[in-house]
Amino acid sequence: MPYLTASKLTKTIAGQQELVNLVAEKAEIDGSFDPLEENGQNVNRVMMCVDFALPLFNANIESTKFTKFYCDQILPNYDAIGTLKDGSTLQYHALKQLAELSTHCGKLENPSLHVVQIFDKLKHFMPLPPEDADLEKMPNLDFTSVECLLYAFHRLARQCPDFLTADPAVLKDFRARLTYFSRGVGGCKKSLEKHSGKKLDEDQLKIAPALFENISSLIKDLYYTVPIYKCNIQLSFKSITKKIKLSPEKSSAPQKRHTPIQFESSNASAPKNARPSKGEGIKLYAPPSGKFSNNFQSYDRGGRGRGRGRGSRGGRGSRGGWRT
């Protein structure tokens, strides 16, 4: 399928939609899904198709079908995917794809049926606080998976705003999980600041601050008495990719837009691509200086004071004298 990206189909909205339909057919998202089929090749095929389709989704081309498929088929089989070769990598990649798909998901007919799948998986990664009140010892928390699931939940739950408020017990339980996980985010922030001077992985140094900030912003929205869905974040694993792609364009743009305009500078060199004007390189006439110049000026003043009769004839005679 990569050869299709070079075709004319990508140049129009209708063409992009046709490509998305082809990918959906290839991924078989309208059928049943068994992650163990074909020794796991079924999972690889679906994820490769989604990776190809993700850049095509935008405000005009929605990812609704793919989002529903991931909520209803991928998340329920999340544990089975983990049993495959490189299962943990596939699991994390599936959550990242779900988060990206939810960005351009359109209106769902029954949003709560799909949101509950994300919510149940999110609770798995966001434990309740311990009963022994020892809040200093934090369990191992998977921040990257929580960011993906929390983002997808935040994007889709706005279509069913009563999902959390319909049952007070559900809301109370979820708030306890949010509070406890928020403490873990704060502890990791402090730990990262302490180790800022030590050698750490470059990607971790770039992703971690954005990751923690995203989770904190999403939790803040959901912790209101009536949860809101207003914050708009950039997924941490997407921000670095975007910076790398845009860096060459940013460095070259100012040179084109801010070229200084210079006037009559003797030391300034002409632009390389500037076209010479017709009179460029031709010396302007300079009147003679010295004794002859004084005689010429007195002659000029005398000629201007005369009338149109003799003065004009004298002028013609004088011009004849200049030629000899």
Q: Please write the tens of the pLDDT for every residue from 136-182.
A: 667 789 999 999 999 999 999 999 999 999 999 999 999 999 999 99
pTM for the whole structure = 0.71
Are the C-beta atoms of residues 151 and 99 closer than 8 Å to each other?
A: yes
Check whether 223 has a pLDDT greater than 80.
Answer: yes
Q: How large a percentage of the chain has pLDDT more than 70?
A: 65
Task: Identify which of 181-190, 221-230, 232-241 has the greatest average pLDDT.
Answer: 221-230
Indicate the burial class of 54 (C-beta count within 10 angstroms; 0-12, 13-18, 19 or more).
middle
Residue that is written with structure tokens 């090749």 in the block? 41
d(CA 7, CA 1): 11
Specify the higher pLDDT residue, 268 or 76: 76
Maximal CA-CA distance, the chain:
123
What are the tens digits of pLDDT across the range 273-324?
A: 545 555 555 454 455 555 545 554 544 445 544 444 444 444 444 444 444 4
d(CA 18, CA 24): 10
Specify the higher pLDDT residue, 15 or 10: 15
What's the pLDDT at 59?
A: 93
HEC letters along the chain: CHHHHHCHHHHCHHHHHHHHHHHHHHHCCCCCCCCCHHHHHHHHHHHHHHHHHHHHCCCCCCCHHHHHHHHHHHHHHHHHHHCCCCHHHHHHHHHHHHHHHHHCCCCCCCHHHHHHHHHHHHHHHCCCCCCCCCCCCCCCCCHHHHHHHHHHHHHHHHHCCCCCCCCHHHHHHHHHHHHHHHHHHHHHHHHHHHCCCCCCCHHHHHHHHHHHHHHHHHHHHHCCCCCCCCCCCCCHHHHHHHHHHHHHHHHHHHHHHCCCCCCCCCCCCCCCCCCCCCCCCCCCCCCCCCHHHHHHHHHHHHHHCCCCCHHHHHHHHHHHHHHC
Instruction: Locate the domains of the chain by residue range.
Output: 1-106, 108-132+139-243
Are the C-beta atoms of residues 211 and 150 closer than 8 Å to each other?
A: no
Read off the pLDDT band of 250 (50, 70, 90): very low
Closest CA to 105 of 150, 149, 50, 68: 68
